[in-house]
Structures are given as structure tokens and as C-alpha cells.
């Protein structure tokens, strides 16, 4: 199947099928503490955060989803307009189609026509393409295509394992990412696609100089589930295997904490199953700089178009604001300083994974202000 029709397939499934993990991202296992006397006004709560040399009005990024088809161009345009209007960041979907079929480049570059120069845009290429020989030249083309503020490299080994046409060769990916980190002019964000970057992967990526992570953990969209539906009609054995692995991965909250523990002074986006502003506030309190949202944005677009996207994001923003107000935090820095309860079994799981939870929370509170390590220029050596 050609890349453009695969893209359309993905959009249809995302909107119509049940493609989320049946396990949770684990936000129910952390609790922010209610303060009955917040001593602030809800309206005065400040959600701003620095990201890639700009200031977002709230810590939200609509992570990369689409491109490569005329339908995708319309979706990207609406996402860009909403992101620009609300002061949020956005990513485009994998740009392979635009790189291999230049006549499709407009389906990505439309984000600048619609969102203007100020919206923070993240370009996107896949790790399997790096293993096949994509390098600095292709990365630069992808960046130029959308005049990007950063480049996301997506890791999707789980998804590819269940595609009849899957690119399952990940040999050489780390060296290729290192080459990009060292030779391109914008930050490289390494992102998963719904199965999580945990301790081991974060350590490996940190050791080659990666400073930006989108953990994209388990608990939201499961790409293995998407491939399960696609395989059903063409390969029953592959479909059965995909069903077995449909909940595979590291839960989003666990991945966020593990990545922050592994590479403390880095920029961390928590995504995968962020389904409310309260989830977002918890993710940030637990160690993320900002959150990423994908599937709900696609579904909001399919139901109510651009207005639907705007409403969804405004609701998230209001909910994050309220969570800060009710914990007595005036801004994201103060949210980090508030108590955070980590319930069992998450605390034990983290300890068994080598995270000293009390030390982690103490360091986070004192040293890791949201956005502090999200500036271009990198972390201290």
C-alpha cells in the first residue's frame, strides 16, 4: 500500500475504531493535594511555559499526526490555526510522503500558511527511514518544508512489527539520531508513538546527546491496535499477534518519571492518553515540561471541525488552570513545589525500576522548573 493511502487509512481508523490501549496511562495513581484556601484568583493563574525559544500560553503540544493527503492538508491547516490562536505548539505527521513525493509537500507546509510564522511547529521523520539511509539532507528538507522549530524522530518499532509491509530494521538508528543531533540546526525531539520511552531507552538516547523526549507512553492510542484492524483483512496470523501485543508498552506516567530520572536535565513531553487538563497537570507535577495530545484532537476535528479542536484545547487549558488554582499554585513552577502523592503500586514499580521516588520528587521540586531545559542550546555537560 502506498504511503498516502496508508495515511488516510490511519485517519479513518483513528476516528472510527477502538484503537486505545485497554490499560491506563496511570494518572489515577498520582494525586494533587486540594488546598481549601488557594489565596489566588483562578483568572490570575499563569500557564505559560518556555518551549524551543518561544513562550507557549499553556504547556500543550498537539503532537504529529498527519500529512501526505489532501484530507490531511485540511486537518493540518485547522490544527495550525487553533494552535496559533491559542498559543500552543504543534507537530506534523511523518513527512516521508512529502519527501518522497514533492507534490505532497503542501499537505505539511500548509501549517505555515494557516498558522503563520509564530506557531511553534515540529517536523517529523521516522526512525526506520533513518535505518534505511535518511540522514542530515532529508532531515533538513523536512525542517525546511514546514520551517520547523524542532525535528521529531519517531520510534515505532511496535507498530512496524505488525504491518505486513513493516520496516522492522532498527539497526543503526542510535548512530543516525546522534548524527542528526550533532549536525542539524534545530533541536531533535525523540518521540515514541504510544508504547513509551522508559529508563533504558532514555539512558541510551541521553548518552548520544538527545535532550528532548516525547515519551508517548501506553494508555492512549495503541498503534499495535491500529495495525490489528488493518491486518484483519490481509493477514490473520499477524492480526492475532497484534491482538496479543495491543497493550504493549510502558504506561505514560511511569515513562515520564523514568525518563526524567534517567536524563534529569532534559525537556520532557508527556503524551499517550492525556485525556483532560487534570491528566496534564498531574503529568507536569510528576516531571513533564509539557504534554502532548493527538487522538482527541483528530476526533474533535472529525466531529466539529476546527471549532471542535479549539473547544477541546480550551477545555484542557481551563482544567489545567483549575488544577493549579485548587492546589494553591500560581504557575507551573509552583505546581512542582506542591505535594504530590504517588500511590501503590506505582511507587513500588518505580522503586523496582531503580527510581528512588522520594529523592526524585525532592530533586524535581528544587531543580527542575517546567520549561527550564526546553530552550535550544541543550543541557549543561
Ligand X SMILES: Cc1cc2nc3c(=O)[nH]c(=O)nc-3n(C[C@H](O)[C@H](O)[C@H](O)COP(=O)(O)O)c2cc1C
Which residue ranges make up the site for ligand X (CB under 6 A)? 10-11, 14, 63-66, 93-94, 124, 152, 154, 191, 193-194, 216, 220-221, 271-274, 293-295, 298
Nearest approach, Cβ of 217 to ligand X (angstroms)?
A: 8
Nearest approach, Cβ of 272 to ligand X (angstroms)?
A: 4
Nearer to ligand X, 96 or 321 (CB): 96
Nearest approach, Cβ of 92 to ligand X (angstroms)?
A: 8
Nearer to ligand X, 139 or 295 (CB): 295
Half-sphere exposure of 347 (CA within 13 A, CB side): 11
Nearest residue to ligand X by CB is 220
What count of other Cβ atoms lies within 10 Å of the Cβ of residue 252?
32
Nearer to ligand X, 158 or 364 (CB): 158
Nearer to ligand X, 8 or 35 (CB): 8
Nearer to ligand X, 285 or 300 (CB): 300
Between CA 169 and CA 177 the distance in angstroms is: 15
Nearer to ligand X, 26 or 295 (CB): 295
Nearest approach, Cβ of 68 to ligand X (angstroms)?
A: 9
Nearest approach, Cβ of 119 to ligand X (angstroms)?
A: 17
Nearest approach, Cβ of 273 to ligand X (angstroms)?
A: 5
Amino acid at each position: 500500500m502506498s504511503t498516502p493511502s496508508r495515511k488516510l487509512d490511519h485517519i479513518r481508523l483513528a476516528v472510527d475504531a477502538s484503537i486505545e490501549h485497554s490499560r491506563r496511562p496511570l494518572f489515577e495513581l498520582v494525586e494533587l493535594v486540594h488546598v481549601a484556601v488557594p489565596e489566588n484568583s483562578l483568572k490570575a493563574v499563569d500557564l505559560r511555559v518556555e518551549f524551543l525559544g518561544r513562550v507557549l500560553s499553556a504547556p500543550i503540544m498537539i503532537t504529529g499526526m498527519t500529512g501526505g493527503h489532501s484530507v490531511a492538508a485540511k486537518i493540518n491547516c485547522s490544527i495550525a490555526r487553533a494552535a496559533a490562536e491559542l498559543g500552543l505548539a504543534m507537530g506534523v505527521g511523518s513527512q516521508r510522503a512529502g519527501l518522497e513525493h514533492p507534490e505532497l509537500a503542501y499537505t505539511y507546509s500548509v501549517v505555515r500558511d494557516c498558522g503563520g510564522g509564530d506557531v511553534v511547529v515540529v517536523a517529523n521523520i521516522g526512525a526506520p527511514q533513518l535505518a534505511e539511509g535518511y540522514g542530515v539532507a532529508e532531515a533538513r528538507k523536512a525542517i525546511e518544508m514546514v520551517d520547523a522549530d524542532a525535528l521529531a524522530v519517531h520510534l515505532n518499532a511496535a507498530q512496524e512489527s505488525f504491518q505486513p509491509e513493516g520496516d522492522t530494521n532498527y539497526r543503526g538508528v542510535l548512530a543516525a539520531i546522534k548524527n542528526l543531533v550533532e549536525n542539524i540546526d534545530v533541536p531533535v525531539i525523540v518521540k515514541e508513538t504510544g508504547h513509551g520511552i522508559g529508563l533504558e531507552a532514555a539512558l541510551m538516547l541521553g548518552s548520544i546527546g538527545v535532550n528532548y523526549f516525547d515519551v508517548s507512553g501506553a494508555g492512549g492510542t495503541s498503534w499495535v491496535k491500529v495495525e490489528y484492524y488493518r491486518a484483519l483483512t490481509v493477514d490473520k496470523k499477524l492480526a492475532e499477534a497484534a491482538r496479543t501485543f495491543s497493550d504493549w508498552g510502558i504506561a505514560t506516567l511511569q515513562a515520564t518519571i523514568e525518563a526524567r530520572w534517567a536524563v534529569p536535565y532534559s525537556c520532557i513531553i508527556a503524551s499517550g492518553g492525556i485525556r483532560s487538563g487534570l491528566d496534564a497537570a498531574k503529568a507536569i507535577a510528576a516531571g513533564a515540561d509539557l504534554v502532548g495530545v493527538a487522538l482527541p484532537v483528530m476526533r474533535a476535528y472529525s466531529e466539529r471541525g476546527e471549532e471542535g479542536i479549539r473547544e477541546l484545547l480550551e477545555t484542557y487549558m481551563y482544567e489545567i488552570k483549575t488544577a493549579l488554582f485548587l492546589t494553591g499554585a500560581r504557575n507551573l513552577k509552583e505546581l512542582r513545589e506542591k505535594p504530590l502523592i504517588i500511590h501503590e503500586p506505582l511507587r513500588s514499580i518505580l522503586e523496582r525500576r531503580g527510581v528512588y521516588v522520594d529523592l526524585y520528587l525532592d530533586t524535581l521540586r528544587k531543580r527542575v522548573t517546567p520549561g527550564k531545559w526546553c530552550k535550544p542550546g541543550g543541557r549543561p555537560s
